[in-house]
Chains A and B, each alone.
Chain A
Amino acid sequence: MNNTTNQVKSLYTIMSDFYHSELNKLHKGSTVLFSKHGKLKQVEVDDLALDMEALMKKAEVKKKYVKAFFSIIIEALQNIRIHGEGAEEKDLKPCYYIVAKTDNSYYLTTANFIKEQDIDKLSQKVNYVNNLSPEGLKEYYFNTLSEGSMSAKGGAGLGIITLATKSNKKLEYSITELENTDFCVFRVTTTVNLTEE
């Protein structure tokens, strides 16, 4: 076994620890609907979004919330596969996701590795969208779209903005630095509150 394999293996263990700790401190009254830690394939992203859409429709959730949550799943999980660190191969990137519901909300928590050097850039971006008014967010989205071009990784720079747009709460996020590695754990929770506009 070479060093790279060893490191990737230990990153999966770290992610697993974060996942189990997250499950123990979910929002009060939460029911977990779908969750996973480890690797994430594209087909799993598609199926999760489609399964949640069917489940929410069956629960007679308003269409706009169903669509918002569909969008949140796609943007958040594609973000992990495109931008996550810890492995080159998209299918091997260590991560976790938890889809849960409370009486009046659905939320998605995801976690992936980022590089220590990217902490400032990412936290600035999330803080920026979190501090915008709904109108300001719409304008920022529109301006980013109008300059729109696809990065080499296939991202459009709209992922985090779209998460913020679809959520009717602020994005809750944390970045945890780790010992003996240049990677940090970035976790973000995006919520659709069914009682708010």
Chain B
Amino acid sequence: MRKLILEETKNTPEIILDPNKGYFSFKGKSFPENSKKFYETIMEWFNQFEPQVTVSYKIDFELHYISSASIISIFEILKKLSKLQKAGAKINIYWMYESDDEDIRKIGEDFTKLVDIPIELKAVEVQ
């Protein structure tokens, strides 16, 4: 499985999907107008992804702004990760928010109630 790296743009986050290192990350702001189209590439990548049983995968979400359409797309990704976990993959999800950022914390809390996979909320220092 090939590594996928998308560079950060004005309205999309940096995305790194590195299956060999067992590390995935979403970092930055996410408000593309056509969120479904932007995240299609990511969904397709995960659809083809076959987790190794010997690897523990770490996923960091470190998003500073997420539009309502992007929230739906990330929800889809989390549902996909939940399915992979049910099929036996070891996946640890970390949802990072700046300690004074209620919005991002609340979005993370919503996801913990909506998807059947543990999501660890982590407050980080304000930069």
Interface residues of A (CB under 8 A from B): 42, 45-46, 49-50, 63-64, 67-68, 70-71, 74-75, 78, 81-82, 90, 142, 145-146, 148-150, 154-156, 158-159, 161-162
Contacts and interface: CB of A to CB of B under 8 A. Distances in A.
Contacts, number: 67
B75 A154 contact: no
B69 A78 contact: yes
Given A67-B101, A67-B103, A42 B69 contact: no
A46 B10 contact: yes
B68 A63 contact: no
Contact of B65 (A71, A81, A158, A161): A71
Interface residues of B, number: 23
Interface in B1-44: 10-11, 31, 33-37
B123 interface: no
A156 B31 CA distance: 13
B114 A145 contact: yes
Interface in B45-75: 65, 67-69, 71-73, 75
Contact of B10 (A50, A64, A149): A50
B33 A148 contact: no
5 contacts: A46-B11, A78-B67, A149-B72, A150-B73, A158-B72
